[in-house]
Structure 1
């Protein structure tokens, strides 16, 4: 029997507490590509860069994020955890800078922050 606060992803054996959010990074860390297709190595520094991740579990006191949301956060301020051989990041809700909204109204232009 699963607890309502458990992460639904692959039946992870974890129940998040308080305002914690468990996220999975999008894409591979390290190398990335520019919009023109140029490979940018992980060692290249261009200032402080925020990262997108997908929320896979949320604690009972999280108010603005639900599982499945894309969240924007500072990768320098994170705690990593491995569950079932996969790497995840544990954040507090206050460490999330933005949530990409999926809600699109009939007369809306699309994705917004």
Structure 2
């Protein structure tokens, strides 16, 4: 999003993605898997890591991850991490052809 970062409510994003075709994506091909998506350049504390570990282990792999129209990850980082921990090389995904309007845009 030019000049800012877009945010969507997860349930609304899932509803907007319902009905999109599900594809299988190689985890190794997801750029965000090797990027700092959670800590915003700050060194994480043990509490930060533990909090994300809890979310990773609770992640429901029956939901596909969601990509924007330009291929950026919109939802599913914890599911990607869980799939990888479980030894999977592929994960189900959907991709918008036109992104839904964000709930909020925050200035960078």
Alignment TM-score, normalising by the size of structure 2: 0.31
The structure whose residues are more often strand, as a share, is 1
Q: Which has the larger radius of gyration?
A: 1
* Greater RCO, CA 8 A, separation 6+: 2
Alignment TM-score, normalising by the size of structure 1: 0.30
The structure whose residues are more often helix, as a share, is 2
